[in-house]
Chain A
């Protein structure tokens, strides 16, 4: 399957080496950073309206972080040597930083998750028996103190860890942008704006995912989503979407206005090969439309019926998820459709369906964090016990199966 070339490409420049997996990598890492930003808004910046989603956000960040390195691993020519990036890093490489940033952030997040769920772990250790009890006792790490002073220490530890975790999350994702932005050979990637764009769109994807998750979880638990929380999510999503779209437009406007030597080929790339994924998806369907929908939610908040607000915000959030995926695709794949000869473009890249770097694998990778979230909920309970107990209507037995675990 030889790609068709228009114009002239360097003969080795006709392959898409960075496949769908490298599109999935920043997409998944983006959720890690974005969801963490939401928990930080609650834990660090005192945005109490995010309380209903704060624990969900942290669990989401954690679940996505666990799979974040898999797409990289799957894409390697020699996956069995992948660990060498961690144990024998070559520090002039941007990629070598991955091991440090990833493991550092993982350590912080695991600690924070432990502190946030410590009380819950102890409660469960106390009320279970046998193997389960041993399991929770192990998780409790030998401390069973739930007195007010201990909880105060927990709270301070959480704030401190969130304080370290927020820059950690920003760096983890800004760094993903740096991997592309620091490649001077590729003018579609090489801009200092790249890490910033990645970071902003990570916030968009994280908040959007939480909006969708929160609505779905509320539906599953037959409970109305907390409206101040939905409004706040919509407001912050709108804010980060505005920043993202502005930066993404600025990037190409500067190129066009400067008439940089690469603009001729990049404009052709955007209007031909990437017309659907860039113009249609990234800018209109995923950009302009949610921008308008969210503007309605934010500016007309007072006049909106609950259901209208929920629907508008969820649709907008879903479109934002498409926007961010398209953006990752356009950067990663788009940058490889264009030859470094700046004279040629190759035909579309169609990822394989099966196989290590195929579409099925990508879907599996995207689904895996939700499975992890489900397991997390069974084991630790994502919702705060008192919230679940207060909100679970005792009459509806079947719908509150999840909630009843915490209420028990």
Chain B
């Protein structure tokens, strides 16, 4: 999903607090011409009429969002997850994820001293029914998974046309207008977070609901999580609970040996989880 680009448009700001001249003088005329031409530029450059009007009016639509002021991270406390699947359903509804594909999913681990059983029926979307394993289980837990929005991400590295990219605020995204659908990124992701959408025929993945977080909302999965398993935070805010947890608790990342620097951090991760 491309970000809503209201903020990245070249918006001409009005002169700060200039005293309004008594009549419509030369100075005012020139300033207005400047604004109008700015609006025309935005319009010609492919902006909508509303964007152009906003540029003429000298103010952006909605709240100004600056990606320099944020750096997002995600925290998952596996000990809290109850496998209800609300997050998977919310994600599918929010992002119109095609059936059979998953931007996020939940895995169930049933572990004994000798054996491990893992499953994720329909990605956990419908919750989890009872399971019979052929061994004595000694522990069991759920692990929510999603794109790890890695800092050194192989998916962005391998994209031959630069359609996969990482935003300044730390979100890995795909430009569906540019993606050629070669699936190299799908192969390169060690976590199985990407797929080729049968609808758009381009790579698709979790965006941490970028369209929501840039408006100050939480990702849909975090919003609906009833147990606080999933938390979304901003590393640039000193008092952010996620930042504090990463700084002070013993956190783990998935497949750390691959050195992709995931930005999804896990609390209470078991060695069986990959």
- Taking Cβ atoms with an 8 Å cutoff, the residues of A that contact B are 2, 7-13, 15, 17-18, 72, 75-78, 81-82, 84-85, 88-90, 92-96, 98, 179, 183-186, 335-336, 339-343
Contact = CB atoms under 8 A, between A and B. Distances in A.
Interface residues of B, number: 42
A25 to B, nearest CB: 11
B246 to A, nearest CB: 24
Contact of B119 (A8, A90, A185): A8
15 contacts: A7-B118, A8-B107, A11-B101, A11-B105, A11-B192, A78-B181, A78-B202, A81-B181, A93-B158, A93-B184, A95-B184, A183-B158, A185-B187, A336-B187, A343-B118
Nearest to B155: A185
Given A10-B120, A11-B101, A78-B179, 16 more contacts: A7-B118, A8-B118, A10-B105, A11-B120, A12-B186, A12-B194, A13-B192, A72-B182, A77-B180, A78-B202, A90-B160, A92-B156, A93-B157, A94-B158, A185-B188, A342-B274
B180 A339 contact: no
A338 B178 CA distance: 29
B191 A10 contact: yes
B161 interface: yes
Contacts of B201: 77-78
B193 interface: yes
Contacts of A98: 160
A185 B183 contact: no
Interface in B112-167: 118-120, 122-123, 145, 154, 156-162
B72 interface: no
B188 A85 contact: no
Nearest to A336: B187
Contacts of A89: 160-161
A185 B189 contact: yes
B180 A85 contact: yes
A81 B180 CA distance: 6
Contacts of A12: 101-102, 105, 186, 192-195
Contact of A82 (B180, B187, B189, B274): B180
Contacts of A90: 159-162
B213 interface: no
B134 to A, nearest CB: 14
Contacts of B190: 184-185, 340
Given A185-B188, A186-B187, A92 B180 contact: no
B92 to A, nearest CB: 12
A295 B100 CA distance: 52
Given A77-B179, A84-B180, A93-B158, A185 B120 contact: no
Interface in B73-129: 100-102, 105, 107, 118-120, 122-123
B161 A84 contact: yes
Contacts of B258: 184-185
A93 B159 contact: yes
Contacts of A179: 184
